[in-house]
Structure 1
Amino acid sequence: MNILGLQKNHNSSVALFCDFKLVYYNQEERLSKIKNDSFFPIHTLNEIKKLNIKIDRVVVTGYNTHDAHLVYGYMYKMGLIDSPYENAVHYYKSHHLNHAVKAMYSTDMDEAVILVADGRGSNYILDNGKQGHEVFSVYFASIEHGFDCLYKRLQTTREGHKAKVRANEIYGFDFVMDAITLKGFENFDVDHRPVSGAFYSRMTNHLGFKTNDEGKLMGLQAYGKPNKKIEEILLKDDLFVYKDKYNKDINFTVNVEKYPELYYHKKLGYKQIHYDIAYESQKQFEYQMIKVLNRYANNAKNIIITGGCALNVVFNYRLKKFLPKNINLYIDPLCGDEGNSIGAAITFGKYCGTRNNFDNIYLGPEPVYDIEKGNDKIETVVEHLINQKIVGLYQGKAEAGPRALGNRSLLLDPRIKNGKDIMNKVKNREWFRPFGASILEEEAHKWFDMAGLKESPYMLYAVEAKEGVKDKIPAVIHVDNTCRIQTVNEKQNPVLYKLLKLFNKKTGMPILMNTSFNLAGKPLVESPKDAIETFNESDIDYIYFADIERIYQ
């Protein structure tokens, strides 16, 4: 059976499973060149068309997918499906359940407590006519017995505060769900106060950043310090007000009229108070996450974190240090909405009787080269890095999700004192933003406090550097003495592993700065052509096309 999962809204993507094996995955942004593309996935569907594979079922998902017939009709006219009625199904509720299923089937766990947290999930109609959308969900998942929702927090307006969810609003599927059991529940918490990703996103906006730029707030908070007054304000019931001239029920805004201490305007720039606001926002976010885990995951042996909030690497590391050593913590590496096309296909595939284990992150299509092969050795790449050059590493399939993990990466010597400033200038990023690093897996514990982690292959933890490390590799150690690291072994990425081994042999440093191969506001490069265009638009010094052993300059 050929099943196509399609994430229609935020971070559109497609995932095609043929006989329960993933044969194609891509994100719409990689082809449209619109970062976080949330529009109609025309480019990825056109790529599916080129595969000349008839789709038995397309499973369309999103926050709510009542308008999915537009997708069905387009696919029918393209010849991808025989019927928009018999070959297409909705999976519109719950968005958080989709995250949970995808994450669970990415592991080898038999059961786990799963915390899903993001800025917004599926909408629910309340008994007073208002709406609420998911921001927290907790599931107990068992491969044998199914998924049981233990808790769900809905974000609503003041008018919807403490209203009840209509009984027929709990789940929405167009297909039978016998194989993935969903136990009934009534434990909805309907509240007007933003929490989780909704809170973090609004504080991100308040400090001058766009939605989807929450990572910038996470970088800025490291410059802050505890501020009791700000802490108390962030807990206030009227911290946010609704300001929209057309609809006063939406568009949460920080209430600076009542709390002028929080005032910020980009023309005035950042002062210490704004760093403190970011710091206290991070602390409040962590408190909210821990509070839910303490309540519902107290006796769990396995804990999974997914949804967009799982990209908060500062929280992930602190949680890892906080948890007892006998608890297994899994952070979903493809936790954003771009992973939900996979979740939708897995959900339907499970209904068909197959467990679709999924544990890979290099999921993009194989690149096609229209430049000549070379005979450039990786030793030459190392020499360029030692000479303080920025090298783009391009090879194989692109990484899914936002992290560059050695296939679409920009590399730099971490010993350069102003290396962070150099790379931020080249990428046109804000001055305060830190960079991640790739390090040999066998060397990581010598440089960083791994908090019991044996590996960190997906850059999901901002780990603490050991004493003296910042002096050796200042370009990648943030102001709070942390670094978001990717541990690398030979099996995971042979080319990057060899490069790190050679760099270590030459310099005694088993680590390189590693950031995504893109410029600010642009998605990760997809094709060799994209890489060359980015090179031509920037001050990147070289690209190493490892597949064809070609150094481009």
Structure 2
Amino acid sequence: MIVLGYNGFTRGAELFGRLFGATGVDRNGLVGHDAAAALVVDGELVAAVEEERLSRVKKTSDFPERAIAWCLETAGLGLDDVDVFAFPWRFSEAVGEEMIAEIADGGLPVAAKFDALRRTGELYTGMLSPEAVHADFVERTGYALDPNRLALVPHHLAHLMCGAYLAGGGDAAFVVSDGRAEALSSVMGELRGGVVHLLDGTSVPMTSSLGVAYGRITRYLGFVPNNDEYKVMGLAAYGPPPRRNPLLDAVVRLRENGAYTIDIPRDPTAYYALFDRLFGCGGGSGAREEFDFRVKVAGMAQHMAETVTSHQVRALTAASGLDTLLFEGGLALNCVANTKMLERSSFTGMEVSFGASDPGVAIGAAVRTAGLRNRPADAVTTPYLGPSYDEAHIREALEEYGDRVTWQEEPDAASVTARTAELLAEKNVVGWFQGRAEFGPRALGNRSILANPAFPDIKDVINLRVKHREPFRPFAPVVLASEAPRVFEMGKKASSPYMTFVFPVREEYRSRIPGACHVDGTARIQTVDDRQNPPLAELLRAFTARTDVPCLLNTSFNVAGEPIVCSPRDALECFLTTEIDHLVIDRFVVTKKGH
């Protein structure tokens, strides 16, 4: 059976901009963001790519025309060969009725209710309804798809199925939490024998979304919601945990069964005024963006997220006798909260996939529709599912930029490893481009920027001269899975291949890898081994043998505001517009002319 999952709406940005006043990245940040496609053939996930990697529009919510075409082309298939197309949203008539009722029963004046119904009605009929989804596919592909070959999968179920499949299947308790699905923002329950059991009364409506609440604080601090929440998470580490959190006093109400309500106004003017009062800000936007104030508020936002998710897990623990916890959805990218959730719970294991946020719902919709409860027993769980480029493509790109770069062609993989380790032993920043592109926001290794964490100021070098981003941002180290417990306090985790957990750096290593330590002495690590990424594992061995440094700094190969590079040309463009010292692309070690 061949199933292609995809996520994205042609009219999303246009409708959210025109009907709801969304601008910039916000137009892509409500429904359908992180558009992607994924292909499952006879039970195996063979290809997946985010549309932004190909279109070069970050966080795009557009119909993933390029991603669908690439997935089929790489498998040698056409649209006729696909048995079912799976879409990770199901705005059924019942959901439509809920949307109408929410407006009708709300506290708006009558005229405002009619206006909200008009706008929501246009959004539903023009984009969200099953008929609109089918029409969008036909229009963008030019393919007369039989509606019976289009499966609509509820959004949270797609999240859950992505995590379950990539974790290898098996019974598990689960929490799914994000900004919004069709009508809910969070669900929890158990997955037993491939059957989903939701815990009664624990689902959280969209109006009390923890993800939306965190996003509103993100906007309040001058960042972009649904995009920059990780900045807030990073800032929180610069201050102590709050002794008193006014968010928990004023807007959050925890329920006994693990549910909760969060009461924050929708209108930015109203919630800015609320936050000014709660956080003690009387100086307007300038004061909100002062570093110390941002740290204080970020700490409260992070504490709120940790408190609410831990509350859910406590209730889930009491209701479930299972040992493993699956956590999926946008909130699962909060790696600081993830570690605390696991360590403070009775669960012995916790899995967060590399597709935990919305890129992964394309995978989840596909595997759900294919009827897969588990991945094949001998399959390697890998995020390296995207495009790769042969030597001819790489040479062509190098020749195109030949007036600006020089390169040395190494004879074999061993020589590439040795030369790269030699460069990284010094204070060089190296772009590392190998094999197939990664999928999702929490897996690197084939499109990475690497550096030596032994240099205390290397974070500043990369943040300011390469990534063009805020100096408070930390970097994640990549380490061999076999070495990780020696360098980091891993707690219940044996490995962490997708940078979805943080761990304290052992005291004896903090002075040896200062560039890999965040201000609080932790690191969001990525572990690798020979099965998952042989070239990177070999590079780590060679680098450690040369330097006695047990890990490398590992950040995404892009600059702020741009998608991670996908093609050789993308890599060369990024290399030439930053102060990256060297680019290692397949067997070619590239240097800027005059460097």
TM-score scaled by length of structure 1: 0.83
Displacement of 1:263 in angstroms is: 5.6
Give the number of the structure whose residues are more often helix, by fraction: 2
- SS of corresponding position for 1:478: coil
2:17 paired residue number: none
1:243 paired residue number: 267
Contact conserved, 1:300 with 1:327, CA < 8 A, in 2? no
Amino acid at match of 1:196: L
Deviations 1:441-500 (A, max 9, x none): 222122111113221111111100111322111111000000111122222211111111
26, 44, 68: which one aligns with 1:45: 68
Contact conserved, 1:81 with 1:87, CA < 8 A, in 2? no
Deviations 1:131-155 (A, max 9, x none): xxx22110211125x111115xxxx
The change in CA–CA distance for 1:454 and 1:69 in structure 2 (over 3 A counts) is same
1:164 paired residue number: none
1:403 paired residue number: 442
2:4 paired residue number: 4
- SS of corresponding position for 2:354: coil
1:110 paired residue number: 170
Across the aligned residues of Structure 1 and Structure 2, the Cα RMSD in angstroms comes to: 2.6
Amino acid at match of 1:219: G
Displacement of 1:122 in angstroms is: 1.4
Contact conserved, 2:477 with 2:516, CA < 8 A, in 1? yes
Q: Does 1:26 align with 2:65?
A: no
Contact conserved, 1:545 with 1:552, CA < 8 A, in 2? no
What pairs up with 1:111-150 in 2 under 5 angstroms?
111-123=171-183, 134-144=184-194, 146-150=195-199
360, 364, 375: which one aligns with 2:410: 375
Give the number of the structure whose residues are more often strand, by fraction: 1
Contact conserved, 1:518 with 1:525, CA < 8 A, in 2? yes
1:478 paired residue number: 518
The change in CA–CA distance for 1:427 and 1:290 in structure 2 (over 3 A counts) is same
1:386 paired residue number: 425
Amino acid at match of 1:466: R
Moved more, 468-477 or 391-400: 468-477
- SS of corresponding position for 1:140: strand
What pairs up with 1:29-428 in 2 under 5 angstroms?
29-48=52-71, 50=73, 51-53=76-78, 54=80, 55-62=82-89, 64=91, 66-67=128-129, 69=131, 72-73=134-135, 75-76=137-138, 81-91=143-153, 94-123=154-183, 134-144=184-194, 146-151=195-200, 188-190=203-205, 192=207, 194-211=208-225, 212-229=227-244, 231-237=245-251, 240-243=264-267, 253=272, 255-256=274-275, 258-259=277-278, 261-262=280-281, 267-268=286-287, 269-298=289-318, 299-324=321-346, 327-350=348-371, 355-357=374-376, 359-369=381-391, 370-372=393-395, 374-375=409-410, 377=415, 378-425=417-464, 426-428=466-468
Displacement of 1:236 in angstroms is: 0.1
Determine the C-alpha separation between the residues in 1 that align with 2:283 and 2:364.
39
The change in CA–CA distance for 1:431 and 1:187 in structure 2 (over 3 A counts) is closer
Displacement of 1:374 in angstroms is: 1.8
The change in CA–CA distance for 1:437 and 1:260 in structure 2 (over 3 A counts) is closer
Amino acid at match of 2:335: V
- SS of corresponding position for 1:204: helix
Q: Does 1:528 align with 2:568?
A: yes
Displacement of 1:23 in angstroms is: 3.1
The change in CA–CA distance for 1:103 and 1:191 in structure 2 (over 3 A counts) is closer
Deviations 1:25-69 (A, max 9, x none): 111110111111112222223435644422222122237473465
- SS of corresponding position for 1:240: coil
Displacement of 1:327 in angstroms is: 1.9
Q: Percent same amino acid among aligned pairs?
A: 30
The change in CA–CA distance for 1:23 and 1:535 in structure 2 (over 3 A counts) is same
Contact conserved, 1:28 with 1:41, CA < 8 A, in 2? yes
- SS of corresponding position for 1:442: coil
Residues paired across the two proteins, number = 495
- SS of corresponding position for 2:38: strand
TM-score scaled by length of structure 2: 0.77
Determine the C-alpha separation between the residues in 2 that align with 1:393 and 1:523.
16
Amino acid at match of 1:529: R
2:119 paired residue number: none
- SS of corresponding position for 2:482: helix
- SS of corresponding position for 2:151: strand
The change in CA–CA distance for 1:388 and 1:266 in structure 2 (over 3 A counts) is farther
Deviations 1:258-300 (A, max 9, x none): 4361467554442423312211211111110011111122333
1:175 paired residue number: none
- SS of corresponding position for 1:210: coil
The change in CA–CA distance for 1:277 and 1:150 in structure 2 (over 3 A counts) is same
The change in CA–CA distance for 1:197 and 1:205 in structure 2 (over 3 A counts) is same
The change in CA–CA distance for 1:77 and 1:19 in structure 2 (over 3 A counts) is farther
Contact conserved, 1:404 with 1:517, CA < 8 A, in 2? no
Moved more, 362-371 or 207-216: 362-371
